[in-house]
A = this chain, B = another copy of it.
Amino acid sequence: MRQFQLFTKTSRNAPKDEESKNAKLLIQAGFIRKEMAGVYSFLPFGLRVLNKIIGIIREEMNAIGGQELLLTTLQDPEVWKKTGRWVEEEADPQHGLPWFKTKLVNKGELGLANTHEEPLTNLMREHVASYRDLPRYVYQFQTKFRNELRAKSGIMRTREFIMKDLYSFSRNEEEFRAFYEQCAEAYMKIFTRAGIGERTYRTFASGGSFSKFSDEFQTICQAGEDTIYVDKKKNIAVNKEVYNDEILMELGLKKNEMSEERAIEVGNIFPLGTKFSVPLGLTFKTAEGSEKPVIMGSYGIGPARLMGTVVEMLSDEKGIVWPESIAPFSVHLLALEGGEKEAKALYERLEKQGMEVLYDDRTDKSSGEKLVDADLLGIPTRIVVSARTLEQGSVEVKKRNEEKHELVKLDALTL
């Protein structure tokens, strides 16, 4: 893409009304825009990153048998009343965050979905009758609305966000557990592919109102809202909520081998048991002819939170540092003074090779401004073409996450 044509611009300074590093950098670099507290638009570069993250998650969910659908935002209260999660009060801490509600012009109240266990369980009743119809794994990327009281963590905790939520439907506990472990592995693959695997731990956590325990995936980071205790040798962590002697014994962990860390919850997986299948009537006929409720699980990742986590962890004082896998472009090609003609030819050559190149062909920016922008935008490989590099028949190649520059002969350049 030619940067000259791009409609977004970087700002000289970080926004003053943001507390979090991720929002500051992403707004300054023109990846996102704050519409109001906790509500962000994704500008072209931000959307490219978000879509790459979604692409990775989709691949891994398909690989474990996930079938993608798209449920709705507008929710019929009747379905939620059956599980007791349509709460009349504005804010009921027992049931998590309050709903965003709205009204039909000609009828009653509706909700904006904050999760989708109820409508999906209800839907599955039409497709599950016998043990032959199970197990099934169904997921979506859908916008959730959560009426947060405060929003101060940038794109990591917002009132409106796309979430990947998968739900598993199994015949028995054993089948459920096998998939649960398979999905936990897929989650670690996702975090590793997105560049934060090394600091992300499967974390023993409370099951909330669903079950005794659940698993979170926590990435160690100062900006995190959670506190966890990590045994780095054993590669396991425990959320502060459930950090007690009984649990430690159960998991074979010792207090003096655990370190306390701040962490960001980048994913979670929940056993749901029959909490939803029983009240909503999702049952199946066993091979022996008896009727049983389906065993369920839920598995969530917020792509924007993952994006914010990467920014929090990998950026430096000059700007963002994207891992190759989710970068908006692979190469940032800068035409500096005297290098315009050769840069253009190189841009066309790299595009023809199918590389994703951002080509800074702006004529109203100084070399200094272009270099500052390149660091801020954080594209993994920077190539500079200028009179100075061309004197040696070369271009300058630099990785965003390394200090060293390298002159490479134009003809010999391979990426």
> Is A133 close to B, CB under 8 A?
yes
> Is A12 close to B, CB under 8 A?
no
Q: How large is the interface on A (under 10, 10 to 19, 20 to 34, 35 or more residues)?
A: 35 or more
Inter-subunit contact A67/B127 (CB<8 Å): no
List residues of A (119-151) whose CB comes within 8 Å of B's CBs. 119, 123-124, 126-128, 132-133, 136, 138, 143, 145, 147-149
> Is A403 close to B, CB under 8 A?
no
Question: Given the complex, which residues of B lie within 8 Å of A407, measured CB to CB?
Answer: none
Q: CB within 8 A of A40: which of B36, B47, B72, B143? A: B72
Inter-subunit contact B132/A364 (CB<8 Å): yes
Inter-subunit contact B126/A33 (CB<8 Å): yes
Q: Which of A100-108, A250-258, A371-379, A394-402 contacts B (4 or more CB under 8 A)?
A: A100-108
Question: Given the complex, which residues of B lie within 8 Å of A50, measured CB to CB?
Answer: 70
- Residue of A8, A46, A65, A145 contacting most chain B CB atoms (<10 Å): A8
Inter-subunit contact A35/B101 (CB<8 Å): no
Inter-subunit contact B70/A42 (CB<8 Å): yes
> Is A68 close to B, CB under 8 A?
yes
A70-B47, A138-B7 known; A104 vs B41 contact (CB < 8 Å): no
Inter-subunit contact B91/A105 (CB<8 Å): yes
Question: Given the complex, which residues of B lie within 8 Å of A247, measured CB to CB?
Answer: none
Q: CB within 8 A of A74: which of B7, B110, B145? A: B145
Inter-subunit contact B102/A112 (CB<8 Å): yes
Closest to A43 in B: B69
Q: In the complex, A35→B120 CA distance in Å?
A: 10
Chain A 27-52 per-residue mask, 1 if CB under 8 angstroms from chain B, else 0: 00010010110011111101100100
Closest to A160 in B: B74
Chain A 359-383 per-residue mask, 1 if CB under 8 angstroms from chain B, else 0: 0000010000000000000000000
Inter-subunit contact B76/A36 (CB<8 Å): yes
A33-B126, A72-B41, A74-B36 known; A6 vs B67 contact (CB < 8 Å): yes
Question: Given the complex, which residues of B lie within 8 Å of A160, measured CB to CB?
Answer: 72-74
Min CB–CB distance A255 → chain B (angstroms): 39
Inter-subunit contact B70/A41 (CB<8 Å): yes
Inter-subunit contact A101/B98 (CB<8 Å): no
Q: In the complex, A106→B100 CA distance in Å?
A: 12
Inter-subunit contact B105/A102 (CB<8 Å): no
Q: In the complex, A186→B233 CA distance in Å?
A: 58
Question: Given the complex, which residues of B lie within 8 Å of A39, measured CB to CB?
Answer: 72, 74
Inter-subunit contact B7/A124 (CB<8 Å): yes
Question: Given the complex, which residues of B lie within 8 Å of A70, measured CB to CB?
Answer: 41-42, 47, 50
Inter-subunit contact A69/B90 (CB<8 Å): no
> Is A94 close to B, CB under 8 A?
no
Q: In the complex, A97→B30 CA distance in Å?
A: 33
> Is A9 close to B, CB under 8 A?
yes
Q: In the complex, A101→B102 CA distance in Å?
A: 6
Min CB–CB distance A366 → chain B (angstroms): 16
A8-B127, A76-B35 known; A147 vs B71 contact (CB < 8 Å): no
Min CB–CB distance A282 → chain B (angstroms): 12
Inter-subunit contact A42/B69 (CB<8 Å): yes
Q: CB within 8 A of A41: which of B44, B119, B143, B145? A: B119
With A35-B72, A101-B102 known, 7 other A-B pairs at CB within 8 A are A7-B127, A7-B136, A7-B138, A8-B127, A33-B126, A35-B75, A106-B149
* 9 A-B pairs (CB sep. < 8 Å): A7-B128, A33-B123, A35-B71, A35-B119, A47-B69, A72-B160, A74-B159, A105-B148, A132-B364
A-B pairs, 6 with minimum CB distance: A42-B70, A7-B136, A105-B147, A100-B102, A102-B102, A41-B71
